[in-house]
Amino acid sequence: MEVPMQQINEKLIEKPISSERIYEGAIVNIRRDTVTLPNGKSATREVVEHPGAVAVVPVTDDGKVILVRQFRHPIGQLLLEIPAGKLDKGEHPDDCARRELEEETGFVASQLRRIASIFTTPGFTNEIIHIYLATGLTATAQHPDEDEFLAVEYYDRDQIKELLAAGELQDSKTALGLLLTESLR
């Protein structure tokens, strides 16, 4: 006899008991939750609250992908990434994607298609990233945030495949966005 999926799922859910905000920052907040586990015991969960973000795979009319190279302080490295940024309070992801694309690359897109929405690391954060494919690009002026320093670079399809195969694209949203884009071609 097969057990209904809802009954299985209910046996996996943790129930909240209490929550305490332990840090409030400009970009993230951190809280400590106490939960009841499915076996009846209690456990502590530390949660990084994030407003969410977008990432954009811009593809030019001639098939080149636009990436940005920037230094990431938390890991102390330069990374090659698709343009991305956090959602402002009350901002729709589509609007954020258009804004970040223009700020970071100097391009606007006539077509913008959401291809995925992913949780980055659900074991400790609620951060969600909405990934877009941008086409029909028109060049404008790049205007990154005042604390943002990046270089815009262009890669053809074969170069992207080589970078992915060699493990040189270490940013997860970038790797996933590029793989999804390739699967749509």
Query: pLDDT tens digits for 104-142?
Result: 999 999 999 999 999 999 999 999 999 999 999 999 977
Q: Which of 91, 100, 146, 153 is catalytic?
A: 146
Give pLDDT, residue 141: 79
| 41-51 mean pLDDT | 98
pLDDT for res 1: 59
Q: 110: helix, coil or strand?
A: strand
Half-sphere exposure for 64 (CA within 13 Å, toward CB)? 9
When pLDDT is cut at 50, 70 and 90, the band that residue 3 belongs to is low
Give me 68's structure tokens: 């940005």
Concerning whether 146 is annotated as a catalytic residue, the answer is yes
Domains of the chain: 5-49 (no CATH), 53-184 (3.90.79.10)
What pLDDT score was predicted for residue 184?
86
Residue 55: CB partners within 8 Å, gap ≥ 6? 81, 82, 83, 84, 129, 130, 131, 132, 173, 174, 177
> From edge to edge, which strands make up the β-sheet containing 65-72?
77-81, 65-72, 150-155
State which amino acid sits at residue 145: D
Contact present, 115 and 134 (Cβ < 8 Å): no
Count of alpha carbons within 13 angstroms of residue 98, beta-carbon side: 11
